Amino acid sequence: MTELQQSSGKTKDEIATAYSSPPWWYNLRGFFILFFAYNSSIGSQLRFFGPNFGDQHLEVACGTGLALEFLLRWRKKKGLPEPHITGIDYAESMLDGAKQRFSGNSSIELKHADAANLPFPDNTFDTANIANAVHCFPDVDGALLDVYRVLKPGGTLAANVLLYPRGPWLFNRIADHINRWAIHKGILYTPYELTNIRQKFVNTGFEIVSEAVSGNCYNIMCRKQQAL
């Protein structure tokens, strides 16, 4: 099945409306999707995204901030430095949850913004993470281009992308049903074929540092090219 055949075709505003659930329900639903659709675990995501925090860090599509909170706890346990974090999300209800979660934390700044139209100057951030969200963007090419723009030369992006189900038959059926429901709901734009989504990162100009498939997710660490 191609991406176009399963794409929701929803606009960014329709997708933002689909994320207007109470933050507690969004978080609970997210754990279910993580296990059955992504076939991933919180631990594996912490180990993948946790090290990729520079002094100035951009967290794209931060949602309610629950995953970010887990990542910061993981980093603290590892004795890693505390960065200055800018989190953005287009769904205002999700962002409100993050603002409540991190109220009083001066090292975390939260903004309402579109991933494909970031309100930041070129070469602003040392690192960026896009956790569990690339496959939710209606304009994934625009989002990758703008993240590339705001990263400093040599800055790194860590992202995971939902692939079409690729496990045993029963798990594939469960994941496929969840994906179809999520597309209909508007919280998923489309899963991807590995070669197609990989090429989007390359076309943006990113240099791939590492890549791996974990469950139904493609994990990619890539770097903005150094200025000549």
pLDDT for 227: 73
3-state secondary structure of 169: helix
Per-residue tokens: 15:
């997708």
Whether CATH 3.30.43.10 fits 3-223: no
Of 175, 186, 226, nearest in space to 205 by CA: 226
What is the distance between the alpha carbons of residues 204 and 208, in angstroms, rounded to a whole number?
11
For the chain, give the percent of residues with pLDDT over 90. 67
Q: What is the pLDDT of residues 55-64, one digit of tens each?
A: 999 999 999 9
Q: Which residue has the higher pLDDT, 65 or 169?
A: 65
pTM, rounded to two decimals: 0.86
Contacts of 21 (CB under 8 A, 6+ apart): 29, 93
Whole-angstrom distance, CA of residue 138 vs CA of residue 197 = 13
